[in-house]
Amino acid sequence: MTASARHILVSDEAFCKELKEKINAGEVSFEEAARDHSTCPSGVKGGELGTFGQGQMVPEFDKVVFNDEVGVVHGPVKTQFGYHLLEVTERS
């Protein structure tokens, strides 16, 4: 199984929740929020992680990407890197 996803990584859970609310309310796009706030290098690409297989990402990430709804912003998801908002863009 493979999936494509994008994410936003921040160090603070409260800020992560705040970004999710703004995205869901249409105040900011996922891509804008990633470019402006993500601490991951993928932020410059709007959070795009490309296509990857199961087991290539940390377990907390994999669980959401390969089990939860496509096209919905999930999170905050805590990993050793911080707090993520995840959006699965495709899964096959």
Mean pLDDT across 66-86:
97
pTM to 2 decimal places: 0.95
- What pLDDT, on a 0 to 100 scale, did the predictor assign at position 22? 98
- What pLDDT, on a 0 to 100 scale, did the predictor assign at position 62? 94
Which positions ≥6 away from 91 have C-beta within 8 Å? 1, 2, 3, 4, 65, 66, 70
Instruction: Find the domain containing 57 and state its range.
Output: 2-91
- What pLDDT, on a 0 to 100 scale, did the predictor assign at position 88? 97
Mean pLDDT across 60-75:
96
pLDDT digits (tens, 9 = 90+) for 12-62: 999 999 999 999 999 999 999 999 999 999 999 999 999 999 999 999 999
Number of domains in the chain: 1
CATH code of residue 53: 3.10.50.40
